Amino acid sequence: MSERIVVVAAALLDGEGDGARLLAARRSAPPEVAGRWELPGGKVEPGETLQAALVRELREELGVDAETGAPVPGEWPLRPPYVLRVLTARLRPGSAAPRPLEDHDELRWLTPAEIWDVDWLDQDVPAVREVLAVRGVPGP
């Protein structure tokens, strides 16, 4: 059996409490997922921590300087050998606003009431539900 490859994604939050918004990113490629939404992030490189990988990926994909927070409980299977892990994150003071640089063509800050207004990738749905649960926001 091949070794698992971890993909780390950000529950990038803006604001505090019930009004905190979550950043969603719309995929531009590959064609089978283009137009659907995900939590931004990417593959953890060998020898890299989840935190370092997420900071790097957010810089590459969104042009932001972020700091990681607590891990979101759980791990979700992607296509083998990949698995998804999620960390909370926030923009560092003075960071540029997120913009879609790689793999995405649109970004949206979603309030808890708007979370399900976008077409999330199937594998991101349970991760987003867990993010909401950790934050005490009831899900559908």
Q: Helices (DSSP H) in 1-140: which residue ranges?
A: 50-62, 124-134
Between CA 13 and CA 110 the distance in angstroms is 9
Instruction: Reply yes or no: is the peptide bond before residue 81 cis, omega within 30 of 0.
Output: yes
**Nearest partner of 104 among 12, 23, 4, judged by Cα:** 23
Q: Which two tokens stand for residue 58?
A: 């957010």
> How much is the pTM?
0.92
Residue 85 and residue 71 in contact, taking contact as beta carbons nearer than 8 Å: yes
Q: Residue 73's closest CA among 94, 89, 88?
A: 88
Q: Which of 131, 119, 30 is nearest to 87 (CA)?
A: 131
pLDDT, residue 1, reads: 47
To which residue do tokens 């590459």 refer?
Answer: 60
Full pLDDT tens readout for the chain, 140 residues: 468 899 999 999 987 766 789 999 999 989 999 999 999 999 999 999 999 999 999 999 999 999 999 999 999 999 899 999 999 999 999 999 999 998 899 999 999 889 999 999 999 999 999 998 887 665 55
